[in-house]
Amino acid sequence: MRYIIGVDGGGTKTYAVVIDEQGNKRGSGIAGCGNHQIVGIEKALGHIRQSTELAIQEAGLTYADIAFVQYGLAGADREHDFSILRPALATLPFAHWDVVCDTMEGLRIGCPDNAGVVLVCGSGTNAAGRNEEGLTIQTGGLGTLYGDAAGSHYMATRTFQAAVRSWEYREIPSVLQHKVPRYFGFETVEQMVNDFLDRDIYSLREGNLAIVLHEAADEGDALAIRILQDTGRELGIAACSVIRRLGGFRKATIPIVLVGSVVQKGRNPHLLAALEETVQQEHGSIELIIPEMAPVYGAVLLGMDHLGLAAGEAIHSKFAAYGGYEA
C-alpha cells in the first residue's frame, strides 16, 4: 500500500492529510499559516512540518511509509518564491515531493483533465489557468497594491468602509451601519470609529466580517449586494485575464473552478451572477464549477498523478465526503 500526503498551506491554516492509494483518509493534521509571504519561511515551514507530523502520527505511519508529498501553498507565486520554498521543503524528511501554488490544487479538484481556469477567493484572491497543452498562467495573488480586489480581507475592508460611509450619509442607508459595530462589540458606528482611531487602527484584516456582508445581502441590503457584485466582477475580470493570456482553450465550454471559503461556502447568487456575466460577455460559453471537496484533496490528486494512480469516481466521492479541516 502506498500513501500520499496532500498539504494545503494557506494564509490562515495549513492542513495535511494522509491518503492511501485507494482514497482512504488515514490521518490529518492542522497547524498555523503556511504562507511564507505572511509569516516568513521559518514559521511557514514549521507549520508545514507540524501538520504533516500530526497527520502521520494519526495514521500510525512513519516518514518512510510516505510515497509522495504534494504541497499546495499560498504565496508560491513567482520563481523567487519557489527559490525560497524548494530548499526549505527539501529539509523535511520526505524522499519524493513537489510544490505548486495552491491555485493548482483548486484547478485539479474541479477539472478532471486539469485544463481550465481557477479562481481562489478565500482570505485573499488569486487566479490561474492551465490549457490543454499544459501552459500555466497566474493573474493576481500579489495583494491589493498589485491590483487584487477580492478575498475576505478585501471584502471586510469594503464592508467596514460601507458602514462608516452609510452612517455619514456618504452612501445609501444600509444595515451594515448597525451590523458592523455589533460585530466588534459596539452599539454605534461612532463608538467603533472613535475606539479604532484611539488605537491608531488604519487597516483591517478581519476576514470573518465577510460573513456579516453576506448576512446583510441575504436580507436584501442594496449596499451589501453592490459590494458582492463588485467582487464578482473583479473575479470575472481576473478569469478573462487568464483566458486571454493563455490564448484561449480548444474546448467549446471553458470551466471556471471556484475555490476558497467565500465562494465554496458563501455561494452568494449576486457575486456568482456578476462573475458569470463578466466572463460570458467576452468568452461566451463557460461553466462555473464549485467543487464539493476541500482544496487539500487537489494536492492529493496531483500526488496520485505523480505516482500514476488512477482516481476514479469512487475516490472523488470519498474526498468530497471527507470535507475540510472544519469537519
Strand spans (E) along 140-269? 254-259
3, three cell numbers: 500513501
Cβ neighbors of 205 (< 8 A, separation 6 or more) are 153, 156
Burial 188-214, CB ≥16 within 10 A → b, else e: ebeebbeebeeeeeeebebbebbbbbb
CATH number assigned to the domain with residue range 113-291, chosen from the 4 options 3.40.50.300, 1.20.1050.10, 3.30.420.40, 3.30.565.10: 3.30.420.40
C-alpha distances in angstroms, 192 versus 169, 184, 205, 215?
17, 7, 16, 20
Cβ neighbors of 304 (< 8 A, separation 6 or more) are 4, 21, 310, 311
DSSP letter (8 states) at residue 126: E
Q: Name residues of the chain where pLDDT drops below 70.
A: 325-327
What 3-state class would DSSP assign to 301? helix
C-alpha 147 chain-centroid distance: 17
Cα–Cα distance measured from residue 148 to residue 133, given in angstroms and rounded to the nearest whole number: 27
Nearest alpha-carbon partner for 174 in 131, 205, 217, 141: 217
What 3-state class would DSSP assign to 312? coil
Give the model's pLDDT for residue 326: 58
Superfamily of the domain at 3-95+292-322: ATPase, nucleotide binding domain (3.30.420.40)
Q: Quick count: other Cβ atoms within 10 Å of Cβ 48?
A: 27
Give the model's pLDDT for residue 205: 86
Of the chain, the end-to-end C-alpha distance in Å amounts to 26
Computed from CA positions of residues 107, 111, 113, 117, in that sequence, does the dihedral angle turn out positive or negative?
negative
CB 244 within 8 A of CB 135: no
DSSP letter (8 states) at residue 94: -
Computed from CA positions of residues 262, 37, 139, 4, in that sequence, does the dihedral angle turn out positive or negative?
negative
Indicate the angle between helix axes 102-110 and 296-307, nearest 10 degrees. 80
Cα–Cα distance measured from residue 316 to residue 301, given in angstroms and rounded to the nearest whole number: 9
Q: Does the fold of domain 113-291 match that of domain 3-95+292-322?
A: yes
CB 271 within 8 A of CB 231: yes
Helices (H), strands (E): how many in the chain?
13, 10
Give the model's pLDDT for residue 327: 44
* Domain ranges (residues) in the chain: 3-95+292-322, 113-291
DSSP letter (8 states) at residue 252: S
Cα–Cα distance measured from residue 284 to residue 196, given in angstroms and rounded to the nearest whole number: 46
CB 274 within 8 A of CB 233: yes
Question: Checking DSSP bridges between strand 25-31 and strand 125-130, what pairing results, if any?
Answer: unpaired
